Chain A
């Protein structure tokens, strides 16, 4: 792997015996006791059937959901108001319809310190250049003045990626951001995503149910199982980077995705037996 950049040691994400349950009387365990770590610069994919707790882990780390038991650490500190810089891209582009693409992408610079304090003053022009450069990077040069509804779904998702990365997050959370796209757009965005990761080496947690996507992008894949949600498999992805789409036709790649598929199918069968 292209581990050329010097990375800080330690974990970016650290789940310590975390449990999440919902509901009062008829408790549903969304996540049974789980410990889970991601170190700096890793690209980890969480795969599994729907309802297995993938999104629960993502929400815990994003700080939009509190753990019932246990501790969630992001960059060595418990998840709370003053946590690490996080960028997130969602399944829907979730761009704000009243702002043009440029202002949408600029939004994190308006909210996140230390960019925030310079936002209304001297650095406005600098930020603008930064946004334009980032848009150009994903093939959206010249679209800054457009409004979200004037763009196709793929273009909106590109802008959403730009927004997730504009403030140089230490942790990038991806919640099936390529799920709703057609295959060719998806593969194009995988390539862009991989390039961005190699250049900036953020720590990435990707939630997906596309095994090919996980194997193409991630350096580590965790398989989850439902009822109760837990991690049942954790394996490294050995392929060298930069990977191309051709790699997905190689026998090693096919056998990896095949093995993951079997793991998930097996998990589903167990789940149906106990249900």
Chain B
């Protein structure tokens, strides 16, 4: 058997083992489903109440993705600005660090005040959650660009823009994708926080209502949905990352570059 295939099978067995252990321990110690439902109960809940759950799942995915896309756009622009200008670095960095230290749950009421409850605060919370890692990584990537590579361009009399486009940005891609994987999961956290506080739709709201009526299996079903969506988004970006930044890990099957 191929070494790679064996490793993958082993990892799948271990992950399944975790859920089996959870199931078995709950049965052995006779844990009530109000405290901790068994995985089988959660799956049954997911299956039987799917028509009620899925509009919420779609809403959460929608707000997360929109917030994430906005976060990427603003994060990359800010990152480029901070990474290429000393003044921008000195001004924006303290502001950014200060802003990202604020608990996001405290910001949601302000968004609700401005835009009303519902979709907009969820999108905005998801956005501000994921901006910080993107900005930091893009700026770091630009700052870490080897001066020798820039000299190659400067002797060719390349403009600043050409250097950024041909050297800075490609060089930053590995940092950028590393940040995307963190940011994607943070975007979910942001969207769900906002839905929990102020929305009548979304997984956050669903879990809120379920827990207030002690419907613990439904709460866990919501958590499962979030975990699955998060893993899917993460895996998606890992896939793109391999395609775009294979050069950084010297992957044998990297054929990009065009």
Residues of A within 8 A of B (CB): 62-64, 81-83, 86-88, 90, 92, 94, 96-100, 103, 107-108, 110-112, 147, 149, 167, 173
Residues of the A chain whose Cβ atoms lie less than 8 Å from the Cβ of B247: 97-98, 147, 149
Whole-angstrom CA separation of A99 from B173 in the bound complex: 13
Residues of the B chain whose Cβ atoms lie less than 8 Å from the Cβ of A62: 151, 154-155
CB under 8 Å from chain A, chain B span 147-197? 148-149, 151-158, 162, 166-167, 170-171, 173
Whether A86 pairs with B258 at a CB distance below 8 angstroms is no
Whole-angstrom CA separation of A151 from B179 in the bound complex: 31
From residue A155, how far is it (CB to closest CB) to chain B in Å?
A: 16
Question: 9 A-B pairs, CB-CB below 8 angstroms?
Answer: A62-B151, A90-B148, A90-B151, A96-B166, A97-B247, A98-B173, A98-B256, A108-B156, A173-B155
Whether A111 pairs with B162 at a CB distance below 8 angstroms is yes
Complex partner residue of B155 from A63, A97, A100, A110, CB under 8 angstroms = A63
Given A90-B148, A98-B257, are A82 and B155 neighbors across the interface (CB < 8 Å)? no
Residues of the B chain whose Cβ atoms lie less than 8 Å from the Cβ of A81: 157
CB under 8 Å from chain A, chain B span 230-247? 245, 247
Residues of B within 8 A of A (CB): 146, 148-149, 151-158, 162, 166-167, 170-171, 173, 245, 247-248, 250, 254, 256-258
Residues of the B chain whose Cβ atoms lie less than 8 Å from the Cβ of A88: 151-152, 155
Whole-angstrom CA separation of A90 from B150 in the bound complex: 12
Residues of the A chain whose Cβ atoms lie less than 8 Å from the Cβ of B171: 98
Given A107-B166, A110-B166, are A96 and B149 neighbors across the interface (CB < 8 Å)? yes
Q: Besides A62-B155, A111-B162, A147-B247, 17 other CB < 8 A contacts?
A: A81-B157, A86-B155, A88-B152, A92-B148, A94-B146, A97-B248, A98-B171, A98-B247, A98-B256, A107-B156, A108-B156, A110-B166, A111-B156, A112-B157, A147-B250, A147-B257, A173-B155
Whole-angstrom CA separation of A87 from B250 in the bound complex: 28
Whether A64 pairs with B157 at a CB distance below 8 angstroms is no
Across the A-B interface, how many residue pairs have beta carbons closer than 8 Å? 68
Whether B258 pairs with A103 at a CB distance below 8 angstroms is yes
From residue A235, how far is it (CB to closest CB) to chain B in Å?
A: 28
Residues of the B chain whose Cβ atoms lie less than 8 Å from the Cβ of A173: 155
Whether B153 pairs with A111 at a CB distance below 8 angstroms is yes
Q: Nearest residue in B to A116 (C-beta to C-beta)?
A: B162
Whole-angstrom CA separation of A81 from B152 in the bound complex: 14
Q: Nearest residue in A to B158 (C-beta to C-beta)?
A: A111
Whole-angstrom CA separation of A74 from B158 in the bound complex: 17
Residues of the A chain whose Cβ atoms lie less than 8 Å from the Cβ of B149: 94, 96
Complex partner residue of B167 from A82, A92, A96, CB under 8 angstroms = A96
Complex partner residue of A98 from B148, B152, B170, CB under 8 angstroms = B170
From residue B79, how far is it (CB to closest CB) to chain A in Å?
A: 18
Whole-angstrom CA separation of A97 from B245 in the bound complex: 10
Shortest Cβ-Cβ A-B pairs, 6 listed: A98-B247, A88-B155, A111-B156, A62-B155, A111-B158, A98-B170
Given A94-B149, A99-B257, A103-B258, are A149 and B157 neighbors across the interface (CB < 8 Å)? no
Whole-angstrom CA separation of A246 from B254 in the bound complex: 44
Complex partner residue of A90 from B152, B166, B173, CB under 8 angstroms = B152
From residue B172, how far is it (CB to closest CB) to chain A in Å?
A: 11
Residues of the A chain whose Cβ atoms lie less than 8 Å from the Cβ of B173: 98
Residues of the A chain whose Cβ atoms lie less than 8 Å from the Cβ of B250: 147, 149
From residue A257, how far is it (CB to closest CB) to chain B in Å?
A: 30
Given A63-B157, A111-B157, A147-B247, are A94 and B257 neighbors across the interface (CB < 8 Å)? no
Residues of the B chain whose Cβ atoms lie less than 8 Å from the Cβ of A83: 157
From residue A167, how far is it (CB to closest CB) to chain B in Å?
A: 8
From residue B175, how far is it (CB to closest CB) to chain A in Å?
A: 13
Q: Nearest residue in B to A145 (C-beta to C-beta)?
A: B255
